[in-house]
A = this chain, B = another copy of it.
Amino acid sequence: MATIDRTRRAFSIDETVALLAHTPATLDALLRGLPDSWIAANEGDKTWSPFDVIGHLIHGERTDWIPRARIILEHGEGRAFDRFDRFAQFAVSKDRPLSDLLDEFAALRRQNLEDLKALKLTESDLDRRGRHPELGVVTLRQLLSTWVAHDLDHIVQVSRVLARQYSDEVGPWRAYLRIISGQQG
């Protein structure tokens, strides 16, 4: 009997859409209604709080994923993507409650997934190439895969920021908590 490799999946557009559709509700369930001090928590210096991350995700919906997919489909490698502003969220989010940001992220994601489905991408579309200003040649398939992993990376970040607030309070259990000790499993 063949052993199934459970560590990798080949790209699937349907599975990608399913995963992307789950992110707004996941972050909403994790964050909405938490005390403000937890929403504003960070890991020191210029690290991001959960609040900052939601602003970053909103900016990505507006300027990164679908706009870059369209650049690939319309211009191929002939036009590099616009650079992504990793600090735009501080303007996007200023003085707004988290609940507003969560609602906006959910609405933008819904619309972007509609737009993605409307593109009716074929396998050969997914092989089309674009040009990233730093990484060089990338494919549409790689862009959409990255969208999924990027969402999950920020769910990790938000969870880690929250958990580390109790770094001192957990006492001896620190040794068992990879999220606090910094070890990856």
Whether A35 and B15, one on each chain, are in contact in the complex, defined by CB atoms closer than 8 angstroms, is yes
Whether B149 and A170, one on each chain, are in contact in the complex, defined by CB atoms closer than 8 angstroms, is yes
In this complex, the interface size class of chain A, counting residues with CB under 8 Å from chain B, is: 35 or more
Is the CB of A83 closer than 8 A to any CB of chain B? Answer: no
Whether A7 and B185, one on each chain, are in contact in the complex, defined by CB atoms closer than 8 angstroms, is no
Nearest residue in B to A16 (C-beta to C-beta)? B166
Whether A169 and B156, one on each chain, are in contact in the complex, defined by CB atoms closer than 8 angstroms, is no
A-B contact pairs, 12 of them (CB 8 A): A6-B41, A6-B44, A7-B42, A11-B169, A18-B35, A19-B34, A22-B34, A26-B26, A30-B155, A135-B175, A142-B171, A149-B180
Measured CB to CB, the residues of A under 8 A from B are 6-11, 15, 18-19, 22, 25-26, 28-31, 33-35, 37-38, 40-44, 47, 49, 132, 135-139, 141-143, 145-146, 148-150, 152-153, 155-157, 159-160, 162-173, 175-180, 182, 184-185
